A and B are shown apart, each in its own frame.
Chain A
Amino acid sequence: MTSAAAPARPPSRWRRFGPRRRLRSTPAGRVVIGLTFAVGFAAFNTGNNLLFFGWGLLLSSIVVSGILSEATLRSVTLSPRGAGEARARAGGALTFVVKNHRRLPAFAVDLRAPFEPATTAAPVDPARAFELRVPPGSERTVELRFAPKKRGVLRVATARASTAFPFGFFEKDKLVPLEPPLDVVVLPARVDVAAEARDLLARMGEAPARRAGPGDELFSLRPFRAGDDPKKIAWRRAARTGRLVVRETEAARSNDVILELCAAGAAAAAVDHAVDVAGSLAEDLLAAGHAVGLCAPGIASAPAPGPRQRGALLTQLALLDARAEKPPLPARRAVVVAVVAAGASPPPHAALVVRAERLA
């Protein structure tokens, strides 16, 4: 996630008359407005006092509805608190704190955070949450959920708190500009690469680390020390020598893996799928303990293990621009895994090749 400065906006001349509001009628509200006109006509026409009473009921429900929704919106404030991890086709959440300043509870607060249209990601529905009740004088952390379709950056410049309480005739919005706007990086979608990862791990094999550690091969025998696992005692040797000795295994060293994304000449959809595959492979390899780097258009990342590297690689893949030039592979000893997008050429050098082709 990154933050960006707010673009300069011309001040609205309506701002001077009060807070920004947007009012729109719901289908039920339109029925009520129509009824109000019809009953008002009938009341004037017939002079029936009970019709005047009914007309008064309709008018007052409209007015009371407006007053109450305004009171609810005035009492509620929104503060952004960042965003969680967002993945394409999986969903994400923006975190806001909703505070009710009144002594009365606020009901039916609908929170929306629309995404700016000019972002690298595909258009996406606003992040949304609905609070049935915000207790008086309290604040709660609310997650506004959204479902991005593609990787990229989403920008939220405004949030909206709206309510149609109590009658649902009108929906009133309170516009809350976010200064600075909130940028959300949508990570590539997670795809099933279990078979490919298994195949890669088998073909790479294990590298001995020349030190003791968890592994399968015998490394050495050493005298027993307090705290050693009794299961590791070499009983035959102990019987022969009269001293307790334990077996030590040799640790297996993780491989350095460079994922090479080959996307030149591929269609945009194929590139996106290849990015998804590369990201998922990177996650699986990192989870298996390997150090993973990335060589892709505009990206050259050295192999490194751990969750920090996972975040870095996925973010780089999310922001990948396929039109950028691909840097050369780093001159170091590493296993190169080429993820080839459909329609792209495989690399001329030796590499383990994974073809990222969509089944459908």
Chain B
Amino acid sequence: MDRIEPLFVTVESFSGPLDLLLQLIRKNRLQIEDIPLSEITSAYLQSMNESSDVDTESAGDFLVLASELMYIKSRTLLPRPEDDEEVDPREELVQRLKLYEKFQNITLVLSDHEKKHAGRILKLAEDLTAFQSEPLELKGDLDALTSAFADLLQRKARQESEESVVRQDFIRSEPFEISVAMERIQERVSARPIRMEALVLTHSVGEWIAVFISVLELIKIQFLTVEVEQGEIYLRRREFE
């Protein structure tokens, strides 16, 4: 048997250890069913040794296969009892290689498919906000709204507790009146969405709650619509024809 040629390349050029093994097999025109284990193992190890820039994580995967190869090799070298019914230790590896090769082939087919049909371009989505003075249905549902608000409160509470360590003694609790908050919201909110956060002047959780209750109230009387986007609550004035 001729010496099996190793491959000298960086590990990055392989999509994995099985890929490296398959390429070794192909380069040396071998059959998967019939790989000379000893030679392929040393070629595999040599390819690994010669490879530079191996990051530890993917190197681990390459080493796993290397140790598997050596394990199988040692198994084939050991004499086995006559009545041993165990299958050829190479068998599992052969099946894995075959399955992997099959997927590699189908990947090529799909890649071709992708290239052949590339270049169908979509129009960008229209900005429809001008037509949406009265949305058919409320987009941000109640769950999204309450959970966004709960997150906000938690964030604020953390901020407040950090700050209040110093200021606690100087500031008395202020009552926040819903009616005041409602007035402020009605003044500020327009057809353009505005972040709810922008309507709160202090870091006080109490004020947040007052604002939130006002928002709910204003939704109820159909003055406002809300939308929750990426955890942010946006308010917009509801318009009627």
Q: Are the chains A and B members of one assembly?
A: no
Q: Which residues of B contact A (CB under 8 A)?
A: none
Q: Which residues of A contact B (CB under 8 A)?
A: none
